[in-house]
Amino acid sequence: MKRLAVITAVAGVGLAGSAVAVSVSASAEATPAPAAIAWAKCAGDDPYLANAECAQIQVPLDYGHPNGKKISVAISRVKHTDDAHYKGVLIGNPGGPGGSGLYLSGGLASWFSGAGHDEIPADYDIIGFDPRGVGASEPALTCDPHYSDPVRPDYVPHSAADEAAWLKKSKAYAQACAKRFGWLLPHLRTTDAARDIDAIRSALGQKQISYYGFSYGTYLGATYGTLFPQRVRHMILDGNVDDRGVWYDAQLEQDKAFERNIKFFFGWVAKYDSVYHLGTTEAKVEQAYYAIRAKAGKQAIGGEVGPDELDDTFLNAGYSTGWYEPTADVFSAYVTKGDASAITDFYENYVFSADDNGFAMYNAVQAADARWPRDWSTWHRDAAKLYRQGYRYNTWSNVWFNAPVAFWPFQGGPKLKIKARGMTPALLVQSTLDAATPYPGGEEMHKLLPSRLVSEIGGKTHANTLNGNACLDDKVAAYLATDALPKDRPGNGPDATCKALPDPVPAGAAAKASARTSGGSVTPRVPARPLFGRP
């Protein structure tokens, strides 16, 4: 693959040769001259990048030593088409931490157009990027490419020996990260990624940016606003992280919310028992799920999907109602027809990834951002308590998804205090039944930032803007196009609300015809965005 030319972004340091110095200091007021970015055709076959151009920019590994070692950040751009109404750059982040966002230049352009808002890609240069350590950025962090290979030990430890096996696995992963990338790990804080965004801004010759963040991308955006409040023109944060839980407590709150949402899914399946034949009540469908999970624990489905892989497959339905129908289809095909390939194909195509980068970065960023318990008894006590209380679906899987942090080579923190004093008001969007970033995070972010909060009432889908709900999408587009915001209401509650779309109706359901004639359900599309949801 042809390597892209690189430019260097450092804090006010002149460089010899063709590289151009660009400022990333918080005090600069003048609009910088654009750097000589060597844009080129994007590599690969991602359809969202078909009309985009890509490049790399160099940034300091350590912003405290801007003349030291450099790393590079991959960026992409879909240029505006309406010079008369040009409004600058719109930079997107899909979440994670660890999510590749390079595709978002074309992704956001496509989603806005699909929502009937061609004016946004016409007026903005839309910028995607892979945060430091992620994807096409260099280096890309990876610790053990085979860590997540199936079939893994059961997430739920049935004995002290089972738990010890996962602890050994998690500790080895942390040690592998330290051995391969110990020099990089301390510089993967969210504050580092936010400073990289400012380096991108500067390299593009922009005085301010507009920013669109989903899930963890909301925390990254709030961090940018805290560090560089005067450099924000617009900020949209969808599916807001609760700053009070960064990061250990956040996973505990997710455990409760995902238990609720997976039960929503089981109840939906029961509603359409005439299609799926898995039980007429939520409890019966849930029982069917745990029956095949227990069976998978004795013999992996298709030799590939054990209990962990099954949990990961069904977790999609906890993130989004758009996954209800495809997940229920494979559930039913296995239980009623014994079709193991339905589940293994779904797992291979939509869940499993042999790329260790996302998992490595997820742990690395959270480990660096904040302090975590170092005594394993705290982790065990909290998980065992939640599991006993009935939060059994996601509790232990979340433990092991985060467990390498308990053995990280350094203690993270201190956590940044979010407070973007003087920033232009942000537009926050939060679904009331979001499981990955539970609703209180939206009100807490509203409290911390100058902002307006839009609540999607009854919304079960994580980070749900540009996903078919016109009420939400129109508010986002109006804010970007005309600076329009909902009227500010007292307190930290919502300033405006939108009703969630009805749950989908499966093909073949008897209710489908009547829904069509009565103006009933609209089936949300399966999300085009990767869902990096913890958080």
Task: State yes or no: is 62 an active-site residue.
Answer: no
Of the candidates 191, 227, 243, 237, the one whose C-alpha atom is nearest the C-alpha of residue 421 is 227
At residue 151, what are phi and psi to the nearest 5 degrees?
A: -100, 130
Out of 123, 130, 198, 434, the active site residue is 434
Of the candidates 417, 535, 534, 532, the one whose C-alpha atom is nearest the C-alpha of residue 104 is 532
Out of 72, 100, 215, 431, the active site residue is 215
Strand boundaries in 396-477, DSSP class E: 426-431, 451-457
Task: State yes or no: is 117 an active-site residue.
Answer: no
Residue type, 465: T
Two tokens at 497?
């609300």
CB burial of 442-468 (b: ≥16 within 10 Å; e: otherwise) equals bbbbbebbbbbbbbbeebbbbbbbbbb
Q: Note the residue count of the chain.
A: 535
Out of 105, 192, 462, 503, the active site residue is 462
The answer to whether 429 and 296 have CB atoms below 8 angstroms apart is no
Give the three-state DSSP class for 500. Answer: coil
Instruction: Classify the C-alpha dihedral 117-98-437-262 as positive or negative.
Output: positive
The answer to whether 427 and 475 have CB atoms below 8 angstroms apart is yes
Helices (H) and strands (E) in the chain, counts: 17, 11
The alpha carbon of residue 283 and the mean position of all alpha carbons in its chain are separated, in whole angstroms, by 30
Q: At which residue do the structure tokens 């129908």 appear?
A: 325
User: In sequence order, which ranges of 389-439 are alpha helices (DSSP H)?
Assistant: 395-402
Task: State yes or no: is 483 an active-site residue.
Answer: no
Residue type, 524: P
Two tokens at 243?
């700053």
Residue type, 268: W
Two tokens at 182?
């110990």
The answer to whether 2 and 44 have CB atoms below 8 angstroms apart is no
Q: At which residue do the structure tokens 């949209």 appear?
A: 236
- What value does the CA radius of gyration of the chain take, rounded to a whole number of Å? 23
Strand boundaries in 79-167, DSSP class E: 89-93, 125-130
DSSP structure string for 67-87: TS-EEEEEEEEE--S-GGG--
Of the candidates 346, 332, 316, 343, the one whose C-alpha atom is nearest the C-alpha of residue 273 is 332
Residue 428 to residues 76, 376, 416, 453: CA-CA distances in angstroms?
Answer: 25, 36, 20, 5
Catalytic residues: 215, 434, 462
